[in-house]
Structure 1
């Protein structure tokens, strides 16, 4: 019997202060275990200095350009009021700009992404162990 909704999670160990990590295969594997073939998957990161992004994977320079643009938009040397020991105010702002979640449709048991689209975890305050939560929902009546 097919479930109508399920929750799953997986962990990602980031290695750098800022990085963009492809998590598409982990999300697709989680969907495959549910038996849900038509529906939607929400990908959510419960962290205030990380984010979820859907972006191109064909040219790695897209990620470099994105991180460089975010650094220009949110410089690390401004007089931020949020001054913890690790001075991570820019990390919070970058995560807020990208956002903590994205929803992707599922068709025939697969993520319905565009030709060059992939799902990424954005790390803005690493290295850390991050958790990614998934909510996978079926469109089909049980």
Structure 2
């Protein structure tokens, strides 16, 4: 059996980490699937999905690390006029940060619950906000 749902977020900051574990747990419960896998994927190229410990200090460290890896003031080739879009691309760091975090995660489902460590949370990462964002959640199993 396969159950697919989506969730929409309205982010409020240029860079933002939002815990979405509860929404994934809800989607798994509503699917009726007891054993299988859940796939979570962002539909956007300047966002990420990642799993990590939910600590404010760690969230800050992750944001700082990503900022060092993709600094705003670098002379990116993407930061130029794009004729196909009819505008200037001002979001190269969002694409690069997404590349580092990935845009999806997979979690096992057992007994109708997602299997994760006690400290693990699933995060949606915004790297080019604020914006309206869509996340797809697909549960597969029986």
TM over 0.5: yes
5+ long unaligned stretches in structure 1:
none
Among 25, 37, 57, the residue aligned to 1:40: 37
Match of 1:62 in 2: 58
In the alignment, the residues of structure 2 paired with residue 13 and residue 25 of structure 1 have an alpha-carbon distance, to the nearest angstrom, of 17
The TM-score normalised by the length of structure 2 is: 0.92
Match of 2:85 in 1: none
Q: Secondary structure at the match of 2:43?
A: coil
In the alignment, the residues of structure 2 paired with residue 73 and residue 41 of structure 1 have an alpha-carbon distance, to the nearest angstrom, of 30
Match of 2:78 in 1: 82
Number of positions where the alignment pairs a residue of Structure 1 with one of Structure 2: 135
5+ long unaligned stretches in structure 2:
81-87
When residues 15 and 86 of structure 1 are mapped into structure 2, their CA distance, relative to the original with a 3 A threshold, is farther
The TM-score normalised by the length of structure 1 is: 0.92
Deviates more, 1:28-37 or 1:75-84: 75-84
Structure 1 runs (4+) greater than 3 angstroms displaced: none
Among 8, 13, 29, the residue aligned to 2:10: 13
In the alignment, the residues of structure 2 paired with residue 97 and residue 69 of structure 1 have an alpha-carbon distance, to the nearest angstrom, of 10
RMSD: 1.0
In the alignment, the residues of structure 2 paired with residue 26 and residue 81 of structure 1 have an alpha-carbon distance, to the nearest angstrom, of 37
Q: Secondary structure at the match of 2:29?
A: helix
Match of 1:94 in 2: 97
